[in-house]
Structure 1
């Protein structure tokens, strides 16, 4: 490899790394201050650069939020699809999906907070239409899975699937507000303790 090509590749890699660092900073600012209250200048200040320098990497705060949220959702759905393709029974699928949810929070905590707090009004913009699509897909996945669990005899038939779905959704993803990466428990350990509490409540008496 020629020195010129090596230098060019090194510069490109550094640019990619810097872009990722700026996105991480932007995600943290959006999560802490709210999307509407955040300006490009605030993100630049948090990153320790001039506002104009940020435009070298992103054309607007919308493009930053778009990349943060779409990256998080792509990663989450890739993990979910692997679980759904594994041909597990309903109980095993619930366990695996909850574990992957906590792993997503571990990897994308700020993005999850942004999604929870901002997705409703962002989804009204054509650029963020995929947020509503993801929400519908998420609800359909869980309702179908819970209904299958009842048919398999794994889950109690007297509980409403919609209420269970909402309980699981809210109690899992609210963890993004208190979860700290590198804390006393790993994402997997938190998931196991959560599942120990939840599954005993929804499982059939003799699954």
Structure 2
């Protein structure tokens, strides 16, 4: 059953959101496996037992961290693609979306990079959605790249899946060095990357050994 969002926060929901954000930072800093429920509770200034009033396990917390990030990311991608625009513009919008998630979801992205394999190896199907989400995201990107190739906008000698993974990894690894007080914000970084991706670094004359 889908609940109705009244827009009114409650002390319980505020507290829960605070605990999720706090735990996400610890997971990002120490790693999910190395983090204990006691450490999360201590940093929150509560007893371990109190944490279990909100979550039944450490896995429940990281589940909320990652699912919130992926829901936001995929929702933005779907919205960007709903208009059915031309592929190069769509890919540019998707790059902007990726960079735009770096600040609000920095901890979640770090956890995804560090703990993806471990979480997927846990018993049960709790984290199966991670693979499903990744498959959907890859499909959206690859479809746009292939469409761009079919329309003559993108080179056909580049493998679409490899191109997607290169773009994906470039965006996500940025979380490791990006600083909000640096010379560029995430929007400016996105525009810079779009320029490099589509226009390249060369002035037009091919100097590659493959040329």
TM-score, normalisation: structure 1: 0.87
Distance 1:181 1:50, change over 3 A: farther
Measured against aligned partners, the alpha-carbon deviations of 1:174-207 in whole angstroms (never above 9, x if no partner) come to 11222234544222111111111111139xx8xx
Contact residue 123 and residue 130 of structure 1 kept, 8 A: no
Where in structure 2 are the equivalents of 1:98-109 lying within 5 Å? 98-109=95-106
Match of 1:153 in 2: 152
Aligned residues: CA RMSD: 1.9
Match of 2:138 in 1: 139
Match of 1:49 in 2: 46
Contact residue 66 and residue 112 of structure 2 kept, 8 A: yes
Contact residue 40 and residue 51 of structure 1 kept, 8 A: yes
Q: Does 1:122 align with 2:119?
A: yes
- Residues of 2 paired with 1:21 and 1:183: CA distance? 27
Match of 2:174 in 1: 175
Match of 2:200 in 1: 201
Match of 2:189 in 1: 190
- Residues of 2 paired with 1:165 and 1:179: CA distance? 21
Listed as ranges, the gaps of 5+ residues in structure 1 are 1-9
Identify the structure with the greater helix proportion.
Answer: 1
Match of 1:92 in 2: 89
